[in-house]
Amino acid sequence: MSDPTKRPLKFPPQHIPYLQKHRILELFHEIARELVIQKPEDHVLFTKQILHNAARSRDVPRVILIPSYKVNALDIAKCMSNVTKQVVISRINLESCLGTEIAGVPSEVIAKCLAYLVRKENCYNLGWIMVDCIRNEQDAKELLQLGIIPTHTIHLISPFQPNLDELLYCNVRPSWPEYRRNIVGMRNAFKASLREIHLGDQMFPKIVQDCLELCKVRKAVKPIQPRVLIIGPRGSGRKTQAKLLAEKLGLICIDFEYLICQVWISATELGTKLRECKNKVCFHSELLSEVVNRRILEEDALRKGWVLVSFPYTDLDFRYLDSLDTPPNRVIFLECDLTVCKERLRHRRVNVYSGSVTNIEEHPKAVEEKTLKTHPKDDESVIDAELKYYCEQYGNLRKYCGPTASFVNGDQNERWVHECILGIILRAPIAAPPRKGLADLANSSSSSSACSCVSVPTTVLDAFVRKV
């Protein structure tokens, strides 16, 4: 039975990650949009013809810049185009196509001319940035009716412009009331994709960079269950942020160090393989990713989503992690100065009876009230070795993630970092090609009896022996 009124239709949880990874829902959305706009006689043939173009147009940015007084939006668009290779469509291009100035030209004609310009092959393949072409709300509505729907509408708000919410007719230029009506009308027409940039006293390059950052974020076709991976050095606040996310969003917090300890002592086949490793602690990528896989496939993790910390260690670990049925769809790097990390770890003490962790710099009286000791893994030599190992692997991890990763300054206070991470999780994922993972898992070394672990420094290995 396929009638959704009789029985709600839902994707099985294990199939959703594949749809998200390859953005199948966005592809269907793009095809459906073209069908209702073009209204072809033979919809099957039309779908076959546009399938390839629809797959490409998912990632093509279509931007409209709404400028304010004394804002050179055309130069901003040209600088953006130098980076993104989009085609800039300005009033000059529009008037050249019309053969006359746009003043007095009907909105319907303006919209048809703009539709002709944006449907050229180079615009269709590379995307476009439209500047100073839309005069008012009627122009905007005519453009939308022809199926020219921007992915981003950016309103550049100058600091000396009066507030649009206020009806001002005194102490403003004579053209302000009409200008305000036109701007408010365009904002209402494009409200689904509208973003604001308050220019303030920002320099020109910073404004261009802000516009480019906004264009990387797309509105999600369907809400996505967060599967978050937080990567950072020890002392950057990874576990703290993971716990805060678990409290705020209801995600399942997965601490890999705790997880592998549980599997290590278990009487399972996977636990046996880990204990049979030639090293005291196994660093074989496939076995470690299998430890994660068993946890994230449990019912609560599939239903609520999860946040993972303390794994992966290397880019090979990451490739195995991406090859699982439910890979992470948010990758966040906590960028933290190593001096700050060391300082945080140096002041950390553990209660020998309860195991609770206390920062003696923030709570100096705790030294007298509680029996606190330095944990062996917080020894200075161990910290230095782990931070050095992270720095050696950082470049490969970041290179593998490419544009799919987001970065947060971990030097800031806990609340600021948490709000930045929340913003990354709650917005639509970055429009970028999916990470490759492993092309062929059939030839992996899991079938062999020997365990080929990643080479790990002795000091780091000893630290993990203490944890396990």
pLDDT tens digits, 11-24: 666 677 777 767 77
Q: How far apart are CA 308 and CA 304, in angstroms?
A: 13
Closest residue by Cα to residue 287 from 299, 271, 301, 298: 271
Domain ranges of the chain: 60-215, 227-439+446-467
Look at residue 55 in the predicted model and tell me its pLDDT.
62
Please tell me if the domain spanning 60-215 has the same topology as the one spanning 227-439+446-467: yes
Q: At how many degrees (to 10) do helices 414-426 and 238-249 cross?
A: 60
DSSP, collapsed to helix, strand or coil, labels residue 64 as: strand
Residue 163 has pLDDT above 90, yes or no: no
**What stretches of 151-248 adopt beta strand conformation (E)?**
152-157, 194-198, 227-231
CB atoms within 10 A of CB 27: 17
Structure tokens at 128: 């476009």
In terms of pLDDT, which residue wins out, 307 or 71? 307
Q: How far apart are CA 271 and CA 260, in angstroms?
A: 9
User: Parallel, antiparallel, or unpaired: how do β-strands 62-66 and 152-157 relate?
Assistant: parallel
| pLDDT tens-digit map of 248-286 | 999 999 999 899 889 888 888 888 888 887 666 667 888
Structure tokens at 132: 């100073």
Q: How far apart are CA 77 and CA 64, in angstroms?
A: 9
Overall average pLDDT of the 190-197 stretch:
89
Among 40-54, 109-123, 348-362, 397-411, top mean pLDDT goes to 397-411
H or E, element range at 141: helix 137-145
Structure tokens at 372: 């606190």
Among 29-43, 152-166, 175-189, 436-450, top mean pLDDT goes to 175-189
Look at residue 222 in the predicted model and tell me its pLDDT.
62
Residue 468 · residue 261 · CB < 8 Å: yes
Least confident of 3-17, 256-270, 354-368, 426-440: 3-17
Residue 170 has pLDDT above 70, yes or no: no
Phi, psi of 253 (to 5 degrees): -85, 120
Secondary-structure breakdown of the chain: helix, strand, coil percentages, each rounded to the nearest 5: 50, 10, 40
In terms of pLDDT, which residue wins out, 48 or 118? 118
In terms of pLDDT, which residue wins out, 210 or 51? 210
Q: Which long-range contacts (CB under 8 A, 24 or more apart) does 368-374 make?
A: 373/349, 374/348, 374/349, 374/350
Confidence of residue 33 (pLDDT cuts 50, 70, 90): confident
| pLDDT tens-digit map of 201-217 | 888 899 999 999 888 87
| pLDDT tens-digit map of 329-349 | 899 999 999 999 998 888 888
Residue 88 has pLDDT above 80, yes or no: yes
Percent of the chain with pLDDT strictly greater than 90:
32
H or E, element range at 349: strand 348-351
Residue 77 has pLDDT above 80, yes or no: yes
DSSP 439: S
Confidence of residue 311 (pLDDT cuts 50, 70, 90): very high
Give the chain's mean pLDDT. 82
Structure tokens at 104: 């007095």
Fold held by 60-215? Rossmann fold (3.40.50)
Phi, psi of 405 (to 5 degrees): -95, 155
Residue 132 · residue 93 · CB < 8 Å: no
CATH second-level architecture of 227-439+446-467? 3-Layer(aba) Sandwich (3.40)
Overall average pLDDT of the 354-381 stretch:
77
